[in-house]
Structures are given as C-alpha cells and as structure tokens.
Structure 1
Amino acid sequence: MDFEEKTLKSEVIYDGKVTKYVVEDVLLPNGKQSKREIVRHAGASAVIAFTDDDRLLLVKQYRKAIEQISIEIPAGLKDTEDVDGMTTAKRELEEETGYQAKDWSFVTSFYSTPGFTDEFLEIYEAKQLITVENPLPKDEDETIELLALTFDEAWAEYEKGHLRDSKSVFALFYWKMNRIQNK
C-alpha cells in the first residue's frame, strides 16, 4: 500500500525565530486532496544530567503555551553553528545549570509530535558533573530555577502534574528503568 502524500503546493505563512509555519496542499494516496498545517523546527537536544549523589538536574520555568510552571530536563534548540546534537546538549547543560559533564552518552532520539511538526529531539545522559566557574549566559528570555531532585522527589513532581513534557517524562521513566535494572 502506498502511504506517501505528494506535496502540490507549499506556502510559508510565518517564519519566526524558532519555528516556521507552513500550509501544504497534498495529494493523498487515494487520489483526493487535503491540507496539512506543519510547524518546521530546526531540532533540539535535551540532557538527563545526574549528580554524583544520584539527583536529576531539572529546570523550573513558566511555559506560556500551557499557561503554567513546568519542571523539565535541560534542553534547547540547535543553533546553526552546532555540528551535532551533542554540541547542543553540552551548551544547554552549561547555560541552564552552570554545569559541564565529564561523562556523556547518547540515549535516544525521536520526533516530538510528527502529526504537525518535524521537530527532532536528541537526548543525552550526562554524569560526573563539574561546576563551571563562569558558565555560558542563560538566554535573555528565560527565567529558570535549577532543581536537583531525588528520584522520589522527581516522581512526586510528575504525580502533581508539574513534570509533564514528553522529554522529561521520558527521562523519568528512563531513570526508573535503570533503577530496576540495577537492583
């Protein structure tokens, strides 16, 4: 069976700092036409950063899209000069937390919400954290608070609905899986 939707027309309706909004007329496999509203995104990286005493570094910030405070793992957009997702992850860890890490490993990657965006997210694990004396500056439009939570504290934030974005929920379940495997 053919699943491909062929683009007949593509119109950029907004080209912003972070995303581009596109409306496409497509030809469906059954011969009918439809419209697709797509958010184009440069991609991002996120970091599951563990302290030596087995705490997870998280950032607390207000998210306008959901009109509430959100507790999330450090993450950020790929810059045009980033050579790969690891470069982005290292920069974001330092900017948002004031830490660097000696031990890095790739965990996974995925499309965040392929029904309407092409955002591709890469997740890395960071251990053996080192406090940076003069860290990279935080983004000017971010107001964040650094948290270092135990597994039980992070799980409680999840249960209260404060830790609910996909990358951070993934991080919490990744941590849970590793705890179970290492018992």
Structure 2
Amino acid sequence: MTAADPVPGSHTFRTVDSRVVYSGAILALRVDRVEMPDGRIAEREVVEHHGAVAVAAVDDDGRVVLIRQYRHPLGARLLELPAGLIDIAGEDPLQAAQRELAEETGLAAREWSVLVDVALSPGFTDEALRVYLARGLTETERPAPEHEEADLELVRMPVAEAVRAALSGSIVNATAVAGLLALSAAGAADLPLRPADAPWPGQPDALLRRQAARRAAD
C-alpha cells in the first residue's frame, strides 16, 4: 500500500447521479453511478422496496404460529411467519405487525418484543424487515381475506420442530428461517430482547418517499 492508497474501510461511496428505470406499487428500480475507491465510476442497480414486518407468535403451549401461503414467483406454497409490508407512510412498525397478525391469523398478543432485524439482500435491494416476538395470544376479529390470503392455512408447530424444518429445507422463506433461528438462539441462551418500540435505523423509506412525491406532483 502506498501513501496515496485509501485506508480500507474509509472510502465514501459518493453517488454521482441516479435515474429511476421503473416505479411500481411495491418496488422501484433505480440505477446509481457510484464513485469507487480507485476513482472509477460504476453503475449499481438498486431495487427499492417497502419495509416489512413479521411475527413469531408463540402460544402458551410453546408452539409457533405459521401460515402456509402460495407464492406465485416460486409457484409453490411456503410455510412462513405472518408478515406484511409497511406501505402506509408514517405507520409504526409495531402497529403494522399487530395488523398483519390479526389479518392473517385472527390473533392478538399481550406481549411484544423485537426478535431480529434483517437486511434481506443488501447486494441489490434496500428491502429490510423486523421480526417481532409475540406472546400471550388471544383471538381477535379477522378481516375478510383477499387474494392469496383467502387460501392461507394456519399451522401451529412446536418451536423445536419448526427449527428442524428450517434446517432440513422444509421451511425456506428467508424471513421465517431468520425469525425461527433467532427465536431458538434467544431461548437457548436466555438472551434479552429489545423492546417493541426499539429504534430501527435500517427501516427503508425511499419507495414511500418516491410514491408520496409522485402523488403530490399529480
């Protein structure tokens, strides 16, 4: 390394310019031109996506509530945690999680905490999600389901069995795998969890801001 070489980890990746290639309801694709450490400019494609929340809801018998849902891109039904997008500007993530749990399972919970935050694929998208742990489950009103949610199947599974399903490849949804393994690890080591209102600095909002600006311009 010479005196002119940058110190590893010190470069500022400055975005020289940016253009939007596509903007839709749940994602946008932009192309950024970014300054690299060697001074060259490289293009980086970025998928902007709404933030999301998921819920590892555990009942009094130690079973986690899963849903089996059809996912069209894979053409298959997957076992997942109840989850959904934060696609309303200003919506609190915890309120979004409570809404999704009620809509997909007909359940509410007395106790909430943050289980884990996940950047799903940071190589090309800002998509991130927060997984909550919910306990003290009770039944609540469930709105009439629409689209794929009209075909949801509820599955209650002991946590250890769900973890084995993730490790065996029976559960492959990234959110579910992350949430179940975090749930197992936290329980095994008796680790403290963050409060339900803990800050979430990685929550994406670029798409929501873009959509709000577009509506304001119309």
- When structure 1 is superposed on structure 2, of 44-53 and 136-145 the one drifting more is 136-145
Query: Which AA in structure 2 matches 1:68?
Result: A
- Whether the aligned pair in 1 keeps the contact of 2:69 and 2:148 (CA below 8 Å) is no
Instruction: Give distance in 2, aligned partners of 1:64 and 1:22.
Output: 24
Instruction: Give distance in 1, aligned partners of 2:36 and 2:135.
Output: 47
Percent of aligned positions that are identical: 34
Out of 134, 140, 144, the position equivalent to 2:147 is 140
Instruction: Give distance in 2, aligned partners of 1:71 and 1:161.
Output: 11
How far is 1:82 from its partner? 4.8
Structure 1 residues 27 and 81, CA gap change in structure 2 (3 angstroms)? closer
Give 2:136's aligned residue: 128
How far is 1:35 from its partner? 1.0
**Could you state the TM-score of these two structures normalised by the residue count of structure 2?**
0.75
Instruction: Give distance in 1, aligned partners of 2:86 and 2:103.
Output: 13
Between Structure 1 and Structure 2, the one with more strand by share is 1
Out of 68, 82, 98, the position equivalent to 1:60 is 68
Report Cα offsets for 1:32-90 as digits up to 9, x if no partner.
11111111012011111001111101111122333332111111100324532101110
Matched, 1:171 2:210: no
- When structure 1 is superposed on structure 2, of 109-118 and 153-162 the one drifting more is 153-162
Q: How many pairs does the alignment contain?
A: 181
In structure 2, stretches of 5+ residues that fail to align are 1-6, 191-218
Out of 19, 31, 34, the position equivalent to 1:11 is 19
- Whether the aligned pair in 2 keeps the contact of 1:69 and 1:162 (CA below 8 Å) is no
Instruction: Give distance in 2, aligned partners of 1:140 and 1:101.
Output: 25
Give 2:28's aligned residue: 20
- Whether the aligned pair in 2 keeps the contact of 1:79 and 1:88 (CA below 8 Å) is no
Instruction: Give distance in 2, aligned partners of 1:51 and 1:126.
Output: 9
- Whether the aligned pair in 1 keeps the contact of 2:116 and 2:179 (CA below 8 Å) is no
Out of 61, 66, 71, the position equivalent to 2:79 is 71
Query: Which AA in structure 1 matches 2:180?
Result: L
- Please give the root-mean-square deviation of Cα atoms over the aligned residues, in Å: 1.9
Structure 1 residues 26 and 70, CA gap change in structure 2 (3 angstroms)? same
In structure 1, stretches of 5+ residues that fail to align are none
Task: Give the secondary structure class of the aligned counterpart of 1:3.
Answer: coil
Matched, 1:151 2:154: no
